[in-house]
Structure formats: structure tokens, C-alpha cells
């Protein structure tokens, strides 16, 4: 029997791990491309993303309470749908999120010192891997400090954006545009390929694309599920922690979106490479701009730590079932963490940082996350009343929206995702044919 991890995380710890993943560096950049897709209807896209996240989170939380083990949907897929489906979920998550770890580390490096981004990224991965090796409680404590600081920075941005001066009315929302708003608006429309429709018209495809982009900002609640084996009283703690973390993240994202729309408007927001810094600048709080940069760097560290924890636990679960080398399934007897899995993930991320063009490497990550949660919703559909099944509509809507959002992603992301899963399926078939 595989050695289990120690249950050391309470509700607060689990909420913090989820928030550090959800309120990560994405909040400092995600709204720009989302506004480029949805325009005036950014808030509708955010609401749709929240609905998808709620369905996925509810399904995942019920499954995590029933199967409080490391591995998340990899475990649920194996138990409810069969080994192949669990393997595909674990494969997509491990490969995609390993690349995402590298990208998040580069984000940290770029905020601190762009000319030294790669060495700083390698140092950040090494430091956080070392931290996680010495116990999950220490990792959760570090994440708590980061979350508090990032929330304070976001609160300052929201106050500046919502209560800044020089507001004028445009469309059905109140914005505080630049002094040359008219020409800027026309140029932004042209550069971004917007149709001449006003805010009374809904670009359905654009809203769906924006929801797909914003959904990944909420996806950090999966870190709570993947740490299920280390949570105390999981049947009670995991659903509660997922719900609290998701609710806080939704409120934060809504306030940030409102502040960004009021300060910049949808079209200037879409053109900004650093939207929250631009919000502070246009709201007359120039002193806040460097603080936003520091907050973004800290958020990237928090998201990176949560990703490293989640991926290593999935690697542990896959190694236990021999879908990955069994040597990675060892639990450290002193610190009660999967040290070998953590070191392997940290090493893989560092290798990616040194050799890969990560702009191309992570193209499939978005597609893989939606497939991962689609499988989680399919698993939830198999739960019976005695197993804590959610209302049937929840996993049905979650599964349908995961498929819909995956289909609306850019073609390159879809093709890259299909390629990664095809490679994983080939590996699975070769291994099982050899085992016969």
C-alpha cells in the first residue's frame, strides 16, 4: 500500500492555497485580452466564466470530498470513468501545468528585472521547490503572506479606479478616459478589429472567447482538490475551502474589472500591456504604479508555488498507479511531502526555462485545463445520491460549457492541445501493449 501524506492543512490553509493560484499574476494581465474579445460586454464574459468555474468547482469539491487523495481529476477519472480517462486528465494537467509553471516564473522575472528574467525565473523555481520540500505548512504560510499583500495592492487599485476624478459618460457605463479619448477609441477599434456595433449589441463569439480567457483566472481552486490528501477533515474542509476561495476571487475580479472599465474603458483597456498600472496612472495615483509592479511579481510567485504543489501531487498519484515511474511515489518520512515528485517537477520546469520557447510551449495549456475539468464534470455525473452528488444540472452545464469554451479558443491552441493529448494517448497505448 502506498504511503499517505500527512493531513496538516485546515480550512484557512486550503483557502489560501486556492486564492494564491486564482489571484495570481493573471489578474494583472488577463483583463486586457478579455476586453479585446468582449468589448463593452467584459462583465458578461466575467459572469459566464464564474458560472463555468462554479459548476467545475462544485463537481470537483464533491469528488474531492469522496476521494480525499492527491491527484485531483486524475484520481476521479480512474475511479469513475476508467484508467484511460484518469490518465488523460493527469497527462494534460501535468504537461500543461509544468509549462505554465515555467511561464509564471518568467512572469516574475520580467516584473523584477526584464533583462534578467530567465535567471531570476530559474532562481524562483529553485527557491520555491526547496521551500515545498520542507513541508506543506511552510508553503501555505508563505502563500498566506503573498495573498494578503496582493489583495492589499488590488484594493488600492480598485479604490483609485472607482473613485478617481475626470469621469465622463460613454455608452451605458461611466468611464474616465484619456484626454484624447475620441481618436484613441477610433484607433483602438481599428487595431483590435472591433465591429462598429455599439454597446447595445452583443458579440456572442467575443464574449465566449473572453469567458474562456477569464475562466483560467478562476481555475486555481483545483489546487485545493489536488492537495486533498493533506487536508484535515476533507469531506467538510474541501467543499468549504473551494466555495470560500471561489467567492472571494469572484468579488475581487468583479471589482477590478469595474475599476479598469471606469478608468480606461474597454478599448483602451484592451490595448494596455499593463492594465492595472495604467488604471492607477489614469486615476491620478502615479505613486501606485511601482507598487502594482511589485504586487504582480508577488502574485506570480504565489501562483507559481500553488502550481508546483498541484503538479507534484498529480505526479505522485500517477506514479502510485505506475502511469509515471514508481520511484516518484515515495513520501518523505520526516516532512511528509512527495519530495522526489517535487524535485522532479522543479527540475523539469528549470529545464523548460533553459531550453524552450515558452510562448509556444504553453499554447495547449488552456485547452488542457478545459479538458481536465470536462472530465471532472463527467465524473460528477456518475455520482449517486449517497455519494454526495451535486444537482445534476451543475455537472451537465459545466461539461457543456467546458466543451463550448474549448471550441472557441484560438485554432492554434486547440491544435496544440489535441497534439499533446494524441501524444499522451500514444504513450498510454504503447505502455499497455508492452505490459501484455
Does residue 367 register a pLDDT over 80?
yes
φ and ψ at residue 8, rounded to 5 degrees: -120, -10
327-349 b/e with 16+ CB inside 10 Å = b? ebbebbeebbbbbbbbbbbbebb
Q: Which residues pair with 70 in a beta bridge?
A: 227
Per-residue DSSP letter, 398: H
Average pLDDT over residues 257-286: 84
Q: How far, in Å, CA of 89 to CA of 69, rounded?
A: 15
Q: How far, in Å, CA of 203 to CA of 215, rounded?
A: 18
More confident residue, 1 or 401: 401
Q: pLDDT category, 47, cuts 50, 70, 90?
A: very high
Per-residue pLDDT at 338: 79
Per-residue pLDDT at 310: 80
Per-residue pLDDT at 89: 92
Q: How far, in Å, CA of 363 to CA of 413, rounded?
A: 5
The pTM is what? 0.78
Q: pLDDT category, 426, cuts 50, 70, 90?
A: very high
Q: How far, in Å, CA of 287 to CA of 374, rounded?
A: 44
CA gyration radius, the chain:
21
Q: Give the burial class of 273: count Cβ atoms within 10 A of its Cβ; 0-12 exposed, 13-18 middle, 19 or more buried.
A: exposed
Does residue 194 register a pLDDT over 70?
no
Ranges of each domain in the chain: 11-435
Which among 6, 5, 13, 3 is positioned nearest to 238, based on CA atoms?
Answer: 13
Place of cell 445534476: 392
Does residue 193 register a pLDDT over 60?
no
Per-residue pLDDT at 60: 85
More confident residue, 16 or 354: 354
φ and ψ at residue 376, rounded to 5 degrees: -60, -45
pLDDT tens for each residue of 210-262: 888 787 777 766 666 666 666 677 777 777 888 888 888 889 999 999 988 88
Per-residue pLDDT at 197: 41
What's the topology of domain 11-435?
Answer: Amino acid/polyamine transporter I (1.20.1740)
354-383 b/e with 16+ CB inside 10 Å = b? eeeebeebbbbbbbbbbbbbbbbbbbbbeb
Element (H, E) at 173: strand 173-175
Per-residue pLDDT at 5: 55
Q: How far, in Å, CA of 244 to CA of 309, rounded?
A: 20
Place of cell 488577463: 30
Q: Which residues contact 385 (CB under 8 A, 6 or more apart)?
A: none
Amino acid at each position: 500500500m502506498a504511503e499517505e501524506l500527512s493531513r496538516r492543512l485546515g480550512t484557512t490553509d486550503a483557502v489560501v492555497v486556492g486564492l494564491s493560484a486564482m489571484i495570481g499574476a493573471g489578474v494583472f494581465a488577463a483583463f486586457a485580452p478579455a476586453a479585446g474579445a468582449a468589448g463593452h460586454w467584459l462583465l458578461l464574459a466575467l459572469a459566464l466564466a464564474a458560472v463555468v468555474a462554479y459548476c467545475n468547482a462544485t463537481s470537483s469539491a464533491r469528488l474531492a470530498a469522496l476521494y480525499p487523495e492527491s491527484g485531483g481529476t486524475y484520481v476521479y477519472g480512474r475511479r469513475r470513468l476508467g484508467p484511460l480517462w484518469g490518465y488523460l486528465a493527469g497527462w494534460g494537467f501535468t504537461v500543461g501545468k509544468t509549462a505554465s509553471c515555467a511561464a509564471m516564473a518568467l512572469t516574475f522575472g520580467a516584473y523584477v528585472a526584464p533583462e534578467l528574467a530567465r535567471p531570476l525565473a530559474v532562481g524562483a523555481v529553485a527557491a520555491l521547490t526547496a521551500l515545498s520540500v520542507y513541508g506543506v505548512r511552510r508553503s501555505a504560510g508563505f502563500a498566506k503572506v503573498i495573498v494578503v499583500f496582493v489583495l492589499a495592492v488590488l484594493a488600492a487599485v480598485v479604490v483609485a479606479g472607482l473613485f478617481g476624478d475626470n469621469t465622463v459618460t460613454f455608452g451605458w457605463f461611466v468611464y474616465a478616459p484619456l484626454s484624447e479619448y475620441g481618436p484613441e477609441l477610433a484607433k483602438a477599434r481599428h487595431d483590435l478589429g472591433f465591429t462598429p456595433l455599439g454597446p447595445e449589441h452583443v458579440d456572442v463569439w467575443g464574449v465566449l472567447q473572453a469567458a474562456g480567457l477569464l475562466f483560467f483566472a478562476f481555475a486555481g481552486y483545483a489546487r485545493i482538490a489536488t492537495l486533498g490528501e493533506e487536508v484535515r477533515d476533507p469531506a467538510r474542509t474541501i467543499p468549504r475551502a473551494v466555495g470560500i476561495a471561489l467567492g472571494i476571487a469572484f468579488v475581487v475580479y468583479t471589482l477590478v474589472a469595474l475599476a479598469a472599465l471606469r478608468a480606461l474603458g474597454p478599448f483602451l483597456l484592451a490595448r494596455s500591456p499593463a492594465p492595472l498600472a495604467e488604471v492607477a496612472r489614469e486615476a491620478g495615483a502615479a505613486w501606485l504604479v511601482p507598487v502594482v509592479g511589485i504586487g504582480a511579481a508577488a502574485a506570480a510567485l504565489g501562483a507559481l508555488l500553488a502550481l508546483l504543489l498541484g503538479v507534484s501531487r498529480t505526479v505522485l498519484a500517477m506514479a502510485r498507479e505506475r502511469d509515471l515511474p514508481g520511484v516518484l511515489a515515495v513520501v518523505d518520512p520526516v516532512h511528509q511531502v512527495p519530495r522526489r515528485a517535487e524535485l522532479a517537477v522543479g527540475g523539469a520546469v528549470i529545464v523548460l526555462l533553459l531550453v524552450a520557447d515558452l510562448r509556444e510551449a504553453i499554447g495547449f495549456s488552456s485547452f488542457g485545463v478545459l479538458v481536465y475539468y470536462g472530465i471532472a464534470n463527467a465524473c460528477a455525473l456518475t455520482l449517486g445520491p449517497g455519494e454526495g452528488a451535486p444537482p445534476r444540472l451543475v455537472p451537465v452545464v459545466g461539461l457543456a460549457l467546458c466543451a463550448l469554451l474549448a471550441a472557441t479558443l484560438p485554432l492554434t491552441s486547440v491544435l496544440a492541445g489535441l497534439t499533446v493529448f494524441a501524444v499522451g494517448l500514444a504513450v498510454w497505448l504503447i505502455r499497455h501493449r508492452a505490459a501484455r
